[in-house]
């Protein structure tokens, strides 16, 4: 067999493998997109209830979105949306400051117990946060933060307090920035704060954007902690609790299509954030490969 024939056979095998991979990825993409497509269709469905005989709606309407924002007598979705937005914004600001501060310290400074602290933080990160939710609730109750208007503050504290433990990704990015830049600035008379704000921060826009996104998404989609702290006080419900309430036995018949509309509405802010910051998000993840 000639060398040309061997090369041709190898190329044919690679082509077949590529076709199989593309077909497999197309099937996975279809499976992934199908539930999202179904939720969007359901949000425009004119028939009530959760049980239907057809995949596509028989009638289409925008009344589900109108009802979602106008019918506040039973489930006040606009209020829930505002509550969640306020909590997410403040949590995002506080968590971003905590994460960047801890990660910069772990990356640039050397002190006693640094390694043990990093190991403990890594071990703590292996445990799901909801394991401590009952203890956290009783602590907040003892401090008077589990009632009335203090619930929002309690949720902000809960979502922000332990965020600094998740410093590993940001630390990995800071490790990729040469320390020689810091040393040169310090020799020129710059303080640590000036080094961070004038040199490190401008070079770290990708990881800052990534931290902001993850800090915003945490409280935006959380259900367990919000449900434990809010309990039956509907005035301070978040959107995740509101969507869950729409699926309860007494509401599901009349609110099921509104649930789908609410799911679409809730996903819009996150989708916009990801589309606007996609480039920075990808760069932030790829830059955080060093430990």
Q: What is the pLDDT of residues 160-200, one digit of tens each?
A: 887 877 788 888 888 888 888 888 888 888 888 888 888 88
What is the C-alpha to C-alpha distance for residues 44 and 89, in angstroms, rounded to an integer?
30
Q: How many CB atoms lie within 10 A of CB 277?
A: 18
Average pLDDT of the chain, as a whole number: 83
Would you state the pLDDT for residue 94?
92
Question: Using one digit for the tens of pLDDT, what is the confidence trace for 68-127?
Answer: 888 888 888 899 999 999 999 999 999 999 998 888 888 888 888 888 888 888 887 777
Structure tokens at 53: 């005989």
**Is the model's pTM score more than 0.85?**
no
Would you state the pLDDT for residue 289?
42
What is the C-alpha to C-alpha distance for residues 116 and 239, in angstroms, rounded to an integer?
39
Provide the residue count of the chain.
291
Dmax over CA atoms of the chain, in Å, equals 84
CA 253 to mean position of chain CA atoms: 30
Would you state the pLDDT for residue 1?
52
- First vs last Cα of the chain: how many Å apart? 50
């Amino acid at each position: 067999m000639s060398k040309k024939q061997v090369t041709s056979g190898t190329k044919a095998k690679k082509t077949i493998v590529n076709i199989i991979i593309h077909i497999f990825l197309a099937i996975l993409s279809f499976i992934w997109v199908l539930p999202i497509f179904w939720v969007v269709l359901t949000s425009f469905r004119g028939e009530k209830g959760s049980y239907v005989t057809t995949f596509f709606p028989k009638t289409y309407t925008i009344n589900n979105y109108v009802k979602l924002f106008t019918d506040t007598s039973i489930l006040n979705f606009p209020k829930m949306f505002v509550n969640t937005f306020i909590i997410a914004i403040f949590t995002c600001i506080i968590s971003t400051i905590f994460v960047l501060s801890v990660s910069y310290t772990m990356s640039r400074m050397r002190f006693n117990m640094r390694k043990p602290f990093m190991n403990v933080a890594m071990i703590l990160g292996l445990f799901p946060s909801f394991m401590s939710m009952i203890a956290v609730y009783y602590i907040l109750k003892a401090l008077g933060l589990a009632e009335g208007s203090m619930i929002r503050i309690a949720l902000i504290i809960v979502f922000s307090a332990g965020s600094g433990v998740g410093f590993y990704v940001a630390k990995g990015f800071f490790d990729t920035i040469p320390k020689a830049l810091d040393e040169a600035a310090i020799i020129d008379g710059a303080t640590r704060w000036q080094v961070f704000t004038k040199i490190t921060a401008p070079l770290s826009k990708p990881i800052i954007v990534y931290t902001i996104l993850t800090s915003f998404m945490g409280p935006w989609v959380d259900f367990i902690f919000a449900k434990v702290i809010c309990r039956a006080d509907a005035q301070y419900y978040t959107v995740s609790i509101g969507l869950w309430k729409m699926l309860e036995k007494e509401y599901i018949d009349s609110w099921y299509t509104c649930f789908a509309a609410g799911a679409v509405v809730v996903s819009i802010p996150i989708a916009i954030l990801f589309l606007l910051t996609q480039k920075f998000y990808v760069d932030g993840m790829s830059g955080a490969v060093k430990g």
